[in-house]
Amino acid sequence: NFMLTQPPSVSGSPGETITISCTRRSGSIDSKFLQWYRQRPGSSPTTVIFEHYHRPSGVPDRFSGSIDRQSNSASLTISGLRTEDEGDYYCQSYDDNNRGVFGGGTKVTVL
């Protein structure tokens, strides 16, 4: 198994751009598809990015996903930050034994 490490919190003002990192501690970050989910308080998670880069229909293009092979990490970038973007964000992938892996989650606060 492997771990995905996220910062506990990230904040920004409305209109700003923030980036959440997700670092894989062993194995290559791009060896398995990686997703990003947002969970608002009291709600179930929803996908904001799937398969590293792709946005589901309905997710604005202010959300983008990227991979950095040098740092072995994935990133979720939110541009034009809005209050509705607040919530907990989780990266997720799976291992060679077909087991899911979640990052610890990042709380996004809009100041």
Partner 1 sequence: EVQLVESGGGLIQPGRSLRLACAASGFTFDDYSMHWVRQAPGKGLEWVSGLSWNGGVIAYADSVQGRFIISRDNAKNSLFLQMNSLRVGDMAFYFCVKGAGTNLIGEGFHFDNWGQGTLVTVSS
Which residues are at the interface with partner 1 (CB under 8 A)?
1, 32-33, 35, 37, 39, 44-47, 50-51, 56, 88, 90, 92-94, 97-105
**Cα pseudo-dihedral 79, 40, 65, 3, rounded to 10:** 140
- Residues β-bridged to residue 80: none
Minimum CB–partner distance for residue 85 and partner 1 (Å): 19
Nearer to partner 1, 31 or 66 (CB): 31
- Which residue in this structure is represented by tokens 């996004």? 108
Q: Is there a contact between 8 and 108 (Cβ–Cβ < 8 Å)?
A: no
Minimum CB–partner distance for residue 20 and partner 1 (Å): 14
Minimum CB–partner distance for residue 97 and partner 1 (Å): 6
* Tokens matching residue 61: 């293009």
